[in-house]
Amino acid sequence: MIQKTVDTIIVGAGVAGIGCANQLDKKNNDFLVISKDIGGRILTSDDGIINYGAFFVCDDYTHVLPWVNRASRIRLSDFLFHEEGNTFQLYEPRLIWYAKDMIRIRRLLRQFRRLFHLFRKKVESSSQKTVLEQMPWLYELYMMNAVDFVKLHHLERGVERYLNKGLYSTTFSPVEKMNAFSFLEFLLPLITPIYTFVFQKDKVVEMLGDRFIAGEVGDIQFIDGGYRVKTNDAMYMSKNVVLATEIGWSSRYAGVHLMNRGVRTCMMHVRGVPKACIARKRYQMFCSPSNVQAIADNLDGTFLFYYRENPAPLHQFFKEVEVIASHVWDPAGRIDGHTLIDPDRGHGLFLVGDYNIVGLEESYITGVSAANQIIQKS
């Protein structure tokens, strides 16, 4: 039985789905959001205070910032690097040995950031694929391996000592597997302030109102010029469908056969007494191929422990430890590769999310872009 007919159905309520819904709401367009939760990979503790998934926001996230409350600023001096049993911090005396590399990378990041901001603005009314193909240097970066970019600009020493650990702990991918665009994107916190945050889920719930359906989509069919979207207990009709889900799920309906490789991470929220090796700084960073990816001190006696595969070596870092919660993301994102997917799949079907470029702001903007195309067509 058909429960309701609307202009647009958005499947998924992560940041991309929220971006699409909010843009349609601004223009008074008819829509429904169907999702098992709100926030997607902005997964939080039961009290909504500790972020398990997306951990920080940059101060240039102009679309995402209205939906979060910024908390403490994360500073480079808060990090401790781990490598083969040794620990060191960024601001150590030997940093002077790597000064030329760090100066070069900051210069490249400033150049990248200027174009990246322009890229974001253009994507609001186009697509990431189209805009990248129109911006030669950004397109070249996307198609280049990060290791080749590092060699081209003589950054090997600084990357080996510091940057590969920061990237592995924030992307869960080694530099050897990522493209140069992702390499620079995830180093932007070197020149851009970043903050922990609290997701304002109540604000999203208020915006969506009765247009949010809690459930999981079981099937999508294109019949007689429209879509039938089935959940476990209902069916809905629409002219447009926006797939705001992980591309591995969306691909079956969007006809996508080639996509970037996913990266895996596991997380444990633990209460424990830290050993000396992690007690000096709030954030611990590791390098590939370490099973441990990152450790974050929540300053309330609890920690977030990120790792690749079980068993998690908790007792290597804690004297006493109790697991509060755990979660596995597989994938946690698609950092590795050079594939560009067109979001407009035809007949009013759109893909949104971080299947091309990973990041909260980037995901949100793909939702805005799809909404703007729907608005323009209607």
Q: What is the pLDDT of residue 181?
A: 98
Are the CB atoms for 108 and 184 separated by under 8 Å? yes
Contact of 42 with 15, CB cutoff 8 Å:
yes
Pair of tokens at residue 267: 């997380």
pLDDT, position 315: 96
Where do the H-state alpha helices sit in 125-163? 128-134, 136-143, 146-152, 156-158
In tens, the pLDDT along 68-90 reads: 999 999 999 999 999 988 898 87
Residues of the chain with pLDDT under 70: 1
Confidence (pLDDT) at 169: 93
Handedness of CA 344, 369, 253, 220 (dihedral sign): negative
pLDDT of residue 99: 87
**pLDDT at position 97, please?**
84
pLDDT of residue 88: 86
What pLDDT was estimated at residue 12? Answer: 98
Question: 12, 245 in Cβ contact below 8 A?
Answer: yes
The pLDDT tens digits of the residues spanning 214-247 come to 999 999 999 999 999 999 999 999 999 999 999 9
pLDDT in tens, 124-142: 999 999 999 999 999 999 9
* The token pair that represents 48 in the structure block: 């909504």
Of the candidates 263, 267, 258, the residue with the CA atom closest to the CA atom of residue 335 = 263
